[in-house]
Amino acid sequence: MFKNTFQSGFLSILYSIGSQPLQIWDKKVRNGHIKRITDIDIQSLVLEVEGTNVSTTYITCPADPKKTLGIKLPFLVMIIKNLKKYFTFEVQIHANCRIRRVYFSDRLYSEDELPAEFKLYLPVQNKAKPPCKLLLWKRYHIRILLMLLLSRLFNHLLTNQD
C-alpha cells in the first residue's frame, strides 16, 4: 500500500480524529462493537474496539489480506489507554533485507546502553568505500519502539488484575 510512497517522519495508519479512521482497515465484530467515542480523559475522539473475546472483535490493516503495508520506517508508535481489560496486538514483519533481530523496548536506547545480547556487530568493511551508516542500520536492525505507556499498560494489567 505504501511501498511506492515517500516515507519520512511519521506515517499514520490509524488516526481516530480523521474523517474516515478505518478506511484502510478491515473490521470483524462478533459480540462486541467498534465505535468512535469521546474520551473523557483527553477530551478527544478515540476509537473503541471492544468485544467479549479478543479473537472475535478486531481490526486488521491492510483490509485486503493479500496486500502488505510496505512501511519502511524503523519505528512503531502506539498510544493505548489502559482500560484494565485484555488486550492484544500483532505486528507482522516481512524481512527482505537480512533482518536478524527485532526487539521491543519502552524507549530508544543508545548503543552504549543496549544490552550485549541485543547488539549486532557489523562485518568488517572494505576501507576504500565506507558504507552509509543509515543503510547499515536499516539493513541489520529494525527497532520497534513502543511508547512507555504500553510497557506500563502490561505491567499494570499483570499486577492489578481484578
99-115 pLDDT per residue, tens: 656 666 767 777 788 77
Residue 83 within any structural domain of the chain:
yes
Q: What angle (nearest 5°) sits at the alpha carbon of residue 105, between those of residues 142 and 37?
A: 100
Residue 110 within any structural domain of the chain:
yes
Residue 46 within any structural domain of the chain:
yes
Residue 161 within any structural domain of the chain:
no
In this structure, the dihedral spanned by the alpha carbons of residues 7, 10, 11 and 13, taken in order and rounded to 10 degrees, is: 170
Distance CA 11, CA 111 (A): 26
Range of the domain at 126: 1-132
Number of independent structural domains in the chain = 1
In the block, cell 478491515 appears at 26
Residue 114 within any structural domain of the chain:
yes
pLDDT band at 13 (very low <50, low <70, confident <90, very high): confident
Distance CA 69, CA 97 (A): 16
118-to-20, 57, 75, 112, 135 alpha-carbon distances in Å: 39, 35, 17, 11, 19
Residue 144 within any structural domain of the chain:
no
Q: Is the pTM of the predicted complex or chain greater than 0.75?
A: no
Residue 158 within any structural domain of the chain:
no
